[in-house]
Amino acid sequence: MAQVAITIRGRQYQIACDDGQEAHLARLGRYLDERAADLIAATGSISEPLLLVMVGLVVADELADAAAEIEALTAETRQGASDAGLASAIDTVTARVEEVAARLEAT
């Protein structure tokens, strides 16, 4: 197991992670530190426990927004696949109708 030092509001925390995940965990730490700085800039000085709760809520809100966007894109993709399948079926039927029409004209 690897150890990563992340800094949030000037306090350093040693966090264990799987080998190879150090850079990812460091990015996450910087992200949390940025969110904390944004909240402090917007609200002024607040207690560490309240800051922790607020940062958690901000990140949870961002996650919920991302999940909703993924769900919408998935629905669009499914609809697009359905539309593509329908278009293919229409093309097949059109080709069959044209075949029948050609045979009728030949007789």
Q: What is the pLDDT of residues 35-88, one digit of tens each?
A: 999 999 999 989 999 999 999 999 999 999 999 999 888 887 777 667 777 777
| Other residues' Cβ atoms within 10 Å of the Cβ of residue 8 | 19
Q: Give me the residue label for tokens 């697009």.
A: 80
**β partners of residue 4:** 15
**β partners of residue 11:** 8
Of 80 and 15, more confident: 15
Q: How far is CA 36 from the centre of its chain?
A: 22
Measured CA to CA, the distance from residue 47 to residue 59 in angstroms comes to 18
